[in-house]
Amino acid sequence: MNSQQLVDLHDVEEYWKSRNLVRLDQMMYYVRWLSRFLTGPGGNPGLSHEDAQRAFLEQLERRGDVPEWQLRQAGRAVELFQKHYLRHRAENGAENAVAVCMHPSAVPATLEAAMDETRRLVRMRHYALTTEQTYLSWLAQYREFVRMNGLPWDAPDTARAFLAHLAIRRGVAASTQNQAFSAILFLLREVAGKDTACLSSVRARRGPHLPVVLSEREVTQVLALAEGTAGLMLRLIYGSGLRVTECTRLRVKDLDFDHGILFVREGKGDKDRSTLLPASLYAPLQKHLERIKELHQRELAKGHGDVELPHALSIKYPKAAWEWGWQYVFPARERSMDPRSGMVRRHHADSQALQRVLREAVQRAGNVKHAKVHTLRHSFATHLLMHGVNIREVQEYLGHKSVETTMIYTHVMRGLNSTAVSPLDALEKAVG
């Protein structure tokens, strides 16, 4: 029996809309993926939710013409159907109305199992490793809170109590509270399939904050005190407006010296972009790459030399992991085990080590500003605007989705370029 005949896709769409689970401009694509799922693996009553979803995604991957972002969208459509819509139908006494019935393993029985499921979903959706670690760290604190207070882990009221505890008892900053909010929201909505509309009121509100920006003189002082490979990385971050992880994960093939362009692959929001490659770094970078290539050749001679490839490229291009173009521009000093795959390879440089180098350089320069590596990216944007570069162009270099995000730097620039004179200075001048 065709399960699509037993599922009213219009009803599914209306339910998703009522719970604000899918953006309206993407709704028709989600419904199409669900339709394909139900006429394929989703129509097999002998498969569990997890097996049906896996079979569907493997089926799409075998075609070879479905981009990675569409695979993620298809997987998300199936999850929203299985974990939200079917539960909604079951709670309203219609659990037998569809061929794909609620499977016992669809919702984890314990918080420990839910944390394992969170890890699986985060990896399946290709979230950053730092996101995975942050989510699981907050869930570990949530687990302790649940245990100490004897509360049900999958109840939205328990989540509200935990977030209130963070804000009132521990006095965490708004950004920290929202970080915890995102982790708990993912647990309840994506793993437990709960209606989380009641949690929106406990999201912390952050007022507008101006970023810390170094002047051009201060940038010169700090960079002069950062030497070696770390110094080169900091110069590239400032000169190209990179995030720290974008710099550490940079591949050799992403440097285009002929056109003066640096390509950022899978940046924040899984977006690609291009930005400036500073001409003053051509020679230092090429000299650095010569040393890295020698290291790579020695690694190959020892039977190593492979790097992690994004997503399923290692299957599509089996030899690419050993190719020079895919190597990291800034590899780690030693080979180590990948925390996700368990493979022992030479990974990219450690971002925390880079943060330490910048912090020490700022202190040695006698600068009291609370500057981090990301401060160099803020300074890049502000200095471009001060030199008359169009804000839309700066937006593209930074990879911001909206120009409103980029406009924060115009407020900083206005303060730096202001011709206003303090009334106290005017008064002193008049008296003098």
Has 377 been annotated as catalytic?
yes
Distance of CA 295 to the CA centre of its chain: 30
Has 400 been annotated as catalytic?
yes
- The C-alpha angle 193, 195, 200, rounded to 5 degrees, equals 125
46, 292, 299, 305, 309 from 302: Cα distances, Å? 48, 15, 5, 8, 20
134 in Cβ contact with 176 (< 8 Å): no
Has 209 been annotated as catalytic?
no
The H or E element that residue 136 is part of is helix 129-149
Lookup: tokens for 23: 């953006």
The active-site residue, picked from 377, 378, 383, 397, is 377
pTM of the complete model: 0.69
Q: Say which range, 147-156, 309-318, 401-410, has the weakest mean pLDDT.
A: 309-318
In tens, the pLDDT along 55-103 reads 888 888 877 778 888 888 998 899 888 888 888 877 776 544 444 433 4
Has 135 been annotated as catalytic?
no
16, 118, 237 from 98: Cα distances, Å? 17, 26, 53
For the chain, list the domains and their CATH numbers: 3-106 (1.10.150), 111-202 (1.10.150.130), 216-414 (1.10.443.10)
In tens, the pLDDT along 272-301 reads 899 999 999 999 999 999 999 999 999 999
The H or E element that residue 382 is part of is helix 373-386
In tens, the pLDDT along 388-403 reads 999 999 999 999 988 9
Query: Does residue 425 or residue 403 have the better pLDDT?
Result: 403
21 Cβ neighbours under 8 A, 6+ residues apart: 80, 84
In tens, the pLDDT along 243-266 reads 999 999 999 999 999 999 999 988
The pLDDT of residue 103: 41
Has 29 been annotated as catalytic?
no
The active-site residue, picked from 76, 83, 189, 243, is 243
For the ranges 43-47, 175-179, 209-213, 324-328, the maximum mean pLDDT occurs at 324-328
The active-site residue, picked from 19, 253, 268, 359, is 268
CA atoms within a 13 Å half-sphere pointing along the CA-CB vector of 239 = 19
CA dist 180 and 143 (Å) reads 12
Has 243 been annotated as catalytic?
yes
